């Protein structure tokens, strides 16, 4: 019996991952990753780095990617709630320039599996959120890229229209059509 449910999204190779949660009066236990089960589902990743961040309501991180060292990411929320987004930058994809989003929370325990060739971002919709993710490539600061979060051509339907808090770096991200990133 699998401990995971892999749900295909509207964009090929992006999956919502639901873990089986074993709970009782003491709390709960769940696996968040199992290499054998992921590979059996066709998700062949070797993760090399884990990251974690904490943010307050309205913080939007993204849309980020690495230009020549793309990363696949398995993302989840430990506490709070975020709206998580992946934008397809694969030039030969039928969904190039399209996005998929999912609400991830400490309560629903969903994860999003984002393959290489995507821009990624999220906005915190609870008062506070802790976000964690695995990457299959190391972070290379000189290689980072970004697309402006409210790009008109991508047209992401972010759940918070006002009160968005961006880093100085993310405020300067170019538009999708000006960047022309293709993996």
At 112 the pLDDT is 98
Which domains can be identified in the chain, with CATH numbers?
Answer: 46-107+117-179 (2.60.120.10)
At 38 the pLDDT is 97
pTM of the entire structure? Answer: 0.95
At 44 the pLDDT is 97
At 162 the pLDDT is 85
Rounded Cα–Cα distance for residues 163 and 146 (Å): 20
Q: Which residues in the chain show pLDDT less than 70?
A: 1
Q: What is the DSSP string of 27-87?
A: EEE--S--HHHHHHTT------EEEEEEEETTBEEEEEEESSS---EEEEEEESEEEEEEE
At 27 the pLDDT is 95
At 182 the pLDDT is 72
At 4 the pLDDT is 97
Which residues are tagged catalytic? 64, 133
At 19 the pLDDT is 97
At 1 the pLDDT is 62
At 183 the pLDDT is 77
């Amino acid at each position: 019996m699998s401990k995971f449910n892999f749900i295909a999204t509207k964009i090929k190779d992006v999956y919502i991952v639901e873990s089986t949660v074993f709970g009782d009066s003491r709390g709960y236990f769940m696996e968040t990753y199992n290499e054998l089960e992921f590979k059996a589902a066709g998700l062949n990743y070797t993760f090399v780095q884990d990251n974690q961040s904490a943010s307050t309501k309205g913080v939007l991180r993204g849309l980020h990617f690495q230009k020549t060292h793309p990363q696949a990411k398995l993302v989840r929320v430990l506490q709070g709630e975020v709206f998580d987004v992946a934008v397809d930058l694969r030039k030969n994809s039928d969904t190039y320039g399209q996005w998929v989003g999912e609400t991830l929370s400490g309560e629903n325990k969903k994860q999003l599996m984002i393959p290489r060739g995507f821009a990624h971002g999220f906005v915190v919709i609870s008062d506070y959120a802790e976000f964690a993710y695995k990457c299959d490539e190391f972070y290379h600061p000189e290689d980072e890229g970004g697309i402006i979060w409210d790009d008109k051509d991508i047209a992401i339907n972010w759940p918070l229209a006002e009160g968005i808090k961006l880093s100085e770096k993310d405020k300067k991200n170019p538009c999708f059509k000006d960047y022309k990133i293709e993996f």
